[in-house]
Amino acid sequence: MKKRPSPKLQGLRETVRRKPAVTAVYFVLRALVILTMIRQFFNGDYENVFLCALTLVLFLMPAFIEHRLRIDFPDTMEIVILLFIFAAEILGEIRSYYTTFPGWDAVMHTLNGFLCAAVGFSLVDMLDRNERFSLSLSPVFLAIVAFCFSMTIGVLWEFFECAMDTFFLKDMQKDAILNTISTVALDPTGGNTPVVIQDIQDVIVVTGGEQMALGLGGYLDPGLRDTMKDLFVNFIGAAVFSVIGYFYLIGRGKGRFARRFIPQVLEDEYRGDN
C-alpha cells in the first residue's frame, strides 16, 4: 500500500504550487542566511549566529500568520517582507550596510512604514467587510487608521531602540555629527533662553581625569536626529500607502498596485461563518 504524504508535506506542496515565486525567494534567502550563520559560527561571532537564527524564524512568520488567521498575503507583499527581513538583519546588521550606505536605514524605515500601513489597512478593511461586524467605515477613516497604525508601530520600534541603547549600549539609534547646536542648558542666567553655538569643530571628552579630543569634526548627537529621521521617513511610507488605500476603496478594489499589498480573507473562512 502506498504511504500517503504527511499533512505538513502536503501543505508544503500546496504552497509551492500556489506561490512558486514566493517559495523560490524564500529558499534562496534561507540558504544565504544559513551560509552566513555557518560563517559567523566559525568566526566566533555568536551574537550574529543568534541574529541569523532569528532571521530564519522571522522568515516563517508570514506563513504562520496566514495559517493562524486564515488570510492570504499577496505574492508581492510576501516577497517584499522576506526581502525586507533579509535586508534589515543580514545586510544591515551583519554586513554593516547601515553604516556603509548612509541611506540604507532610511529606506528600511520608509518601507516599514509602507508595509505597516498596508497591514493596518487590511486588518480594518477585513473587519469592515465581515458580516459579523456592521461597521460601514468610510475610505477616509480606513486611510487614517492605516496611517496611525503604521506610525504607532514606528514609535514602538524607536522605544525598543532607545531601550537597547540605554540598557545594553547597542547604539541602535545611530549618532549624528552636528556643527551647530542650540541649548538652554548653557543659559548663564539659568533661564529658558537658548544659547546657540555654531561652527563646532570637535568634542573633548574627559574620562578618568584625562582629556581626549574625538576628532569628529563637530558635536556628537546621541541618536536624536536619527530617531526623528526614522519617524519622518516612516511617516512618508505610511502616508503613501494610506493615499493608495484610499483610492483603492474609492475605486471599489480596482487598483492593481494596492491589491499586491492587501491581504485577503480566505474564502473558506467566510463559508465557515455562515
Q: Give the DSSP letter of residue 180.
A: -
Residue 143 within any structural domain of the chain: yes
Alpha-carbon distance 153 to 110, whole Å? 12
Residue 2 within any structural domain of the chain: no
Tell me what pLDDT residue 90 has.
Answer: 97
Tell me what pLDDT residue 112 has.
Answer: 97
Q: Does one domain contain both 135 and 247?
A: yes
Residue 103 within any structural domain of the chain: no
Q: Does one domain contain both 195 and 70?
A: no
Residue 1 within any structural domain of the chain: no
Q: Does one domain contain both 162 and 180?
A: no
* Average per-residue pLDDT for the chain: 89
Alpha-carbon distance 42 to 51, whole Å? 15
Domain boundary among the residues 60, 95, 130 is at 95
Three cell numbers at 234?
516612516
Q: Does one domain contain both 79 and 133?
A: no
Q: Which domain holds residue 129?
A: 114-171+223-274
Spell out, as residue ranges, where the chain has pLDDT lower than 70. 1-15, 130-135, 253, 267-274
Would you say 204 and 213 are in contact if contact means Cβ atoms under 8 Å apart?
Answer: yes
Q: Does one domain contain both 33 and 81?
A: yes
Q: Does one domain contain both 229 and 264?
A: yes
Q: Does one domain contain both 84 and 63?
A: yes
Q: Does one domain contain both 215 and 231?
A: no
Q: Does one domain contain both 246 and 198?
A: no
Tell me how many domains the chain contains.
Answer: 3
Tell me what pLDDT residue 66 has.
Answer: 85
Residue 186 within any structural domain of the chain: yes
Alpha-carbon distance 77 to 121, whole Å? 14
Q: Does one domain contain both 71 and 195?
A: no
Measured between alpha carbons, how far is residue 255 from residues 111, 188, 267 in Å? 20, 60, 21
Residue 101 within any structural domain of the chain: no
Residue 256 within any structural domain of the chain: yes
Measured between alpha carbons, how far is residue 106 from residues 102, 114, 238 in Å? 8, 12, 13
pLDDT digits 0-9 by tens, 90-124: 999 999 999 999 899 999 999 999 999 999 998 88
Over its C-alpha atoms, the chain yields an Rg (Å, rounded) of 24
Tell me what pLDDT residue 227 has.
Answer: 96
Alpha-carbon distance 229 to 171, whole Å? 16
| Burial degree of 274 (CB within 10 A; 0-12, 13-18, 19+) | exposed
Residue 204 within any structural domain of the chain: yes
Please give the model's pTM, rounded to 2 decimal places. Answer: 0.88
Q: Does one domain contain both 215 and 245?
A: no
Three cell numbers at 104?
540604507
Tell me what pLDDT residue 273 has.
Answer: 44
Conformation bin of residue 205: beta by default, left when phi > 0, alpha when psi is -120 to 50: beta
Tell me what pLDDT residue 271 has.
Answer: 42
Tell me what pLDDT residue 269 has.
Answer: 42
Would you say 219 and 203 are in contact if contact means Cβ atoms under 8 Å apart?
Answer: yes
Q: Does one domain contain both 268 and 165?
A: yes
